[in-house]
Amino acid sequence: MKLSIAIMAAGLGTRMKSNKPKVLHEISGFEMLYHIIKEAQKISDDVHVILYHQASLVQEKMNRYFSGLHYHLQDHQNFPGTGGAIRNVTPKYEHLLVLSGDMPLLESAHMQNFTHFNADIVMSTFTCKEPLGYGRVIMDEACNVQRIVEEKDASVEEKKVTSVNAGVYLFKTSFLNENLSKLTNHNAQKEYYITDLIPLAKEVKALFVDEETFMGVNSKHHLSIAEELMQERIKRRFMEQGVLMRLPSTIYIEADVEIVGESILENGVTLLKGSRIENSHIKAHSIVEKSVIKDSDIGPMARIRPECLIEKTHIGNFVEVKKSTLKGVKAGHLSYLGDASIDEGTNIGCGTITCNYDGKGKYQTIIGKNVFVGSDTQLVAPLIINDDVIIASGTTVTKDIPKGSLAINRAPLKIVEGFFYKFFGKKDV
Ligand code: UD1
Ligand code: MG
């Protein structure tokens, strides 16, 4: 079945108590609206997004990821509510799937399930112990859906109903064309409710769905629950593909991260957007952001900042690397390597710092093969250190070093015997 899809994202999201539009709140590194649009585009080439609240900001953010979307501005003044949201949508196909921008856990396979039925409306429902905030589904004795009553309009008896409206609907386009204009706003919120279309349909089918997958995020508490569910899903997929994780509940992985081969992630690891981990061991409490790590071990407590390529390399504790390429390198402890390129066989001693910034610009440090950088070295960029060089511990390197040399700029060590006793006075033994 060819489908058009409408994603409602125009609501004010007041329950989020935020200046940021609800649908732009992020889960696993990406806006809630991003997640659902991405899934919708997998099954439809006719995706409509309905905006109103901070519409230009939402549209601008989504344009960074997607093309070919149809944006509509809801006439919120005259037609507020979910029924008002879809008024101006003009579906290309005979069926329109309506989704909400606050359902970040919905995947294309779940969307596809609606197409197995043929009715004016296929609606979705689940049963929950605490139906707070959801519309209640009122059924007759034969379990046919009769209507949906919003919590704010429900009587005490209706509030006890535990079958709720999950908020996703598949409509026949012809049904919508005939009936959308019949909606009224005679309810507690003075809004046009999409749910009021149900009593107008000849045939309504109910699809029983999973509460967690279909959860609607209305508050920051919901947002945290949705994020945990998505994290579980992301990590489970990787573990099934052979990634080993220690205490996975303490690991955070953003939605577009790739992990391949037999990688190991220890507890507390954070993998941020745009990262790729290949056959590597990321040790406890390390952070990797927008970088590629291949055949390497990182950490514990290392920070790999954006735009690094780290291959066949050992990075130890308290090492920070930024915008650098390291191939076949050892940097075991306490270093800052920024805007650097470091080649095979090179050892970076403890406490090495690339001084890449002079307050105005950033400069490159290029280090060749088999270089031994002694501990506590400062490399003042721009700088080229050629192959087979030894830099003595404690050196401040300010000039390029030719192949095969030693660089050392230590002040001579002076020893003054007996000075301690002269200074503090001789203690009685
Ligand atoms: C809605 C349903 C409720 C269901 C719940 C499931 C209605 C009237 N109620 O309630 O039965 O149980 O979802 O999560 O539909 N929106 C607009 N324009 C508006 C108002 C809302 O585009 O004028 C969008 C919002 O941005 C949001 C979605 O529609 O993405 C749902 O709105 P929300 O306010 O979250 O509705 P609920 O109260 O959750
Ligand atoms: Mg909602």
Could you please state the CATH topology (level 3) that the domain comprising 4-219 is classified under: Spore Coat Polysaccharide Biosynthesis Protein SpsA; Chain A (3.90.550)
Q: What is the DSSP letter of 328?
A: S
Q: Is the pLDDT of residue 427 over 90?
A: no
Phi, psi of 108 (to 5 degrees): -60, -35
Of ligand 1's atoms, which has the minimum distance to the CA of residue 218? 35
Nearest to 93 by CA among 169, 155, 207, 170: 170
Distance, in Å, from the CA atom of 153 to the CA atom of 378, rounded to the nearest integer, reads 70
Check if 333 is active-site.
Answer: yes
Averaged over 350-361, what is the pLDDT? 97
- Could you give the 3-state DSSP secondary structure of residue 223? helix
Q: What pLDDT, on the 0 to 100 scale, is given for residue 397?
A: 98
Averaged over 16-22, what is the pLDDT? 96
Secondary structure element (H or E) that encloses residue 336, with its range: strand 330-338
Q: Is the pLDDT of residue 429 over 80?
A: no
Is any ligand 1 atom within 6 A of the Cβ of residue 44?
Answer: no
Q: Is the pLDDT of residue 320 over 60?
A: yes
Is any ligand 1 atom within 6 A of the Cβ of residue 196?
Answer: no
What tens digit of pLDDT does each residue of 95-147 get? Answer: 999 999 999 999 999 999 999 999 999 999 999 988 888 999 999 988 899 99
Averaged over 239-260, what is the pLDDT? 98
Q: What pLDDT, on the 0 to 100 scale, is given for residue 11?
A: 87
Q: Where are the domains of the chain?
A: 4-219, 221-407
Buried b (16+ CB within 10 A) or exposed e, 139-178: eeeeeebebbbbeeebeeeeeebebbbbbbbbbbbebbee
Averaged over 302-323, what is the pLDDT? 98
Answer with the residue of higher pLDDT: 46 or 129.
Answer: 46
Peptide bond into 300 cis (omega under 30): yes
Is any ligand 1 atom within 6 A of the Cβ of residue 193?
Answer: yes
Q: Of all protein residues, whose CA lies closest to atom 25 belonging to ligand 1?
A: 11
CATH superfamily of 221-407: Hexapeptide repeat proteins (2.160.10.10)
Averaged over 354-380, what is the pLDDT? 98
218-222, 228-232, 424-428: least confidently modelled range? 424-428
Averaged over 272-284, what is the pLDDT? 98
pTM (two decimals): 0.94
| Percent with pLDDT over 90 in the chain | 95
- Quote the ligand 1 centre to 82 CA distance (angstroms): 6
Is any ligand 1 atom within 6 A of the Cβ of residue 98?
Answer: no
